[in-house]
Amino acid sequence: MSVLEVRDLVVEVAAADGPLVVVDGVSLSVDAGETLGLVGESGSGKTLTALAVMRLLGSSARISGGQVLLEGVDLTKLDERRMRGVRGGRIGMVFQEPMTALDPAYTVGEQVAETVRRHLKLSRKDAWARAVALLDRVGIPSAERRARDYPHHFSGGMRQRVVIAMALSCEPVVLLADEPTTALDVTVQEQILTLLAELRDESGLALLFISHDFGVIADICDRVAVMYAGQVVETAPVRELFATPRHPYTDALLRCVPGAEVGRLATIPGTVPGFDALPPGCRFAPRCAHTTPSCVAGPVALEVVDQAHQARCVRLAELMETPS
Ligand SMILES: Nc1ncnc2c1ncn2[C@@H]1O[C@H](COP(=O)(O)OP(=O)(O)OP(=O)(O)O)[C@@H](O)[C@H]1O
């Protein structure tokens, strides 16, 4: 059984003319010790998917369908009190900007210790000792002394390490990481990715890793789900996705990666459609080089390409026979 399984998740947001579906039937699963990458352009619904898992959508968005199973328990059905125990407990979170998770008014040691105390009901002294050990584990040098410093005394990379320590303080089974390295420079980015991979391997964490950066995805993920306009359009083991993308959108995205071996650097013509003006049929059809009338005839389902590889393209079989 997967540690985290999202089944047919639907998220609606409030809009002037009524609710808009912005996450449309997304299904994902992550096993213990595995990293699933969720990739796609800005606005494709990656963050809302993660926020829906945590039930942190706020007042303008809501889950209107599907299930979020954590170790078999449907989180969409839990009351808010139990859900608070899950957040920062069984599921840890790391976001792009570490300061959103840190309080400038408290030392980092106090903040990590407070999370530990709240969830694990430890004494103040034991919680502090655990906080220092965690800060040491995530690579904060002189952790005992640095635990007494405030977040603004730390660099961006070190702050992200503190947030990772907080996220892991209650031994979660799932870690949601939403663009955790995007705000960091490249060398620090590498160090944080290495740390996350080590922590995943040590404790068998199921890691859901959101990024728009295929380089980062290639570094850390085992499998990838590609999102476009609120839907998963392709999912595959990472190497297979890079070697043989089967959805024209994935193929086009990979051609946009600097240094990509798949061809010259390209851009995808056109823009992602608004959720209030989705095209009928395939949502990528207006930007796709392979569109035919069959693409716009009606909704397109995900189809199995090969075992763990699926793609949402009506011309899948045809295009597989055509060398790109
Ligand atoms: N609370 C909200 N209310 C209304 N619309 C929202 C809300 N949150 C997000 N949206 C819209 O939902 C769509 C999906 O947003 P989401 O943040 O999930 O995308 P994303 O793929 O994570 O993009 P990015 O990489 O820019 O974070 C976007 O069009 C966004 O404007």
Which pLDDT value is given to residue 264? 52
- Testing ligand 1's pocket by substitution, the residue of 46, 182, 231 carrying the most ligand atoms inside 8 A of its CB is 46
Which pLDDT value is given to residue 142? 96
d(CA 180, CA 36): 14
What confidence tier does 255 reach under pLDDT thresholds 50, 70, 90?
A: confident
Q: Which atom of ligand 1 is nearest to the CA of 50?
A: 18
- Testing ligand 1's pocket by substitution, the residue of 6, 22, 60, 100 carrying the most ligand atoms inside 8 A of its CB is 22
d(CA 155, CA 153): 7
Tell me the mean pLDDT in the region 94-113: 92
| Cα 151 to ligand 1 centre (Å) | 28
Domains and CATH numbers, the chain: 2-90+172-187+204-259+266-321 (3.40.50.300), 97-171 (no CATH)
Selected residue with higher pLDDT from 260 and 249: 249
Which pLDDT value is given to residue 260? 54
Average pLDDT, the chain: 92
Torsion sign, CA atoms 129, 133, 135, 141: positive
Which pLDDT value is given to residue 259? 62
Q: Amino acid identity of 221?
A: C
| Cα 92 to ligand 1 centre (Å) | 21
What confidence tier does 267 reach under pLDDT thresholds 50, 70, 90?
A: confident
Tell me the mean pLDDT in the region 126-147: 95
Selected residue with higher pLDDT from 148 and 317: 148
Cβ atoms of 132 and 149 closer than 8 Å = no
What confidence tier does 271 reach under pLDDT thresholds 50, 70, 90?
A: confident
Residue nearest ligand 1's atom 16 by CA: 45
Which pLDDT value is given to residue 99? 83
Residue nearest ligand 1's atom 8 by CA: 48
Reported as half-sphere exposure (CB side, CA atoms, 13 A), residue 3 has a value of 19
Q: Does pLDDT of 139 surpass 60? A: yes
Q: Does pLDDT of 265 surpass 80? A: no
β-strand pairing of 303-306 with 61-70: unpaired
Q: Does pLDDT of 120 surpass 90? A: no
Tell me the mean pLDDT in the region 126-155: 95
Which pLDDT value is given to residue 101? 86
Which pLDDT value is given to residue 73? 96
| Cα 44 to ligand 1 centre (Å) | 7
pTM of the model: 0.93
Residue nearest ligand 1's atom 24 by CA: 42
Tell me the mean pLDDT in the region 42-53: 94
Which pLDDT value is given to residue 97? 85
| Cα 246 to ligand 1 centre (Å) | 26
Tell me the mean pLDDT in the region 196-204: 94
Q: Which atom of ligand 1 is nearest to the CA of 230?
A: 14
What confidence tier does 283 reach under pLDDT thresholds 50, 70, 90?
A: very high
Give the contacts of 141 (CB within 8 A, at least 6 positions apart). Answer: none
Q: Does pLDDT of 262 surpass 60? A: no
| Per-residue model confidence as pLDDT tens digits over 79-88 | 999 999 999 8
End-to-end alpha-carbon separation of the chain, Å?
37
| Cα 73 to ligand 1 centre (Å) | 26
| Cα 22 to ligand 1 centre (Å) | 8
ipTM attached to this prediction:
0.93
Selected residue with higher pLDDT from 317 and 259: 317
| Cα 18 to ligand 1 centre (Å) | 17
Q: How far is CA 256 from CA 39, 41, 133, 214, 265, in A?
A: 13, 11, 42, 10, 5
Query: Which residues surround ligand 1 with Cβ inside 6 Å?
Result: 13, 22, 40, 42-48, 58, 60-61, 212, 275
Give per-residue burial for 133-142: e unless 16+ CB within 10 Å, then b.
ebbbbbbbee
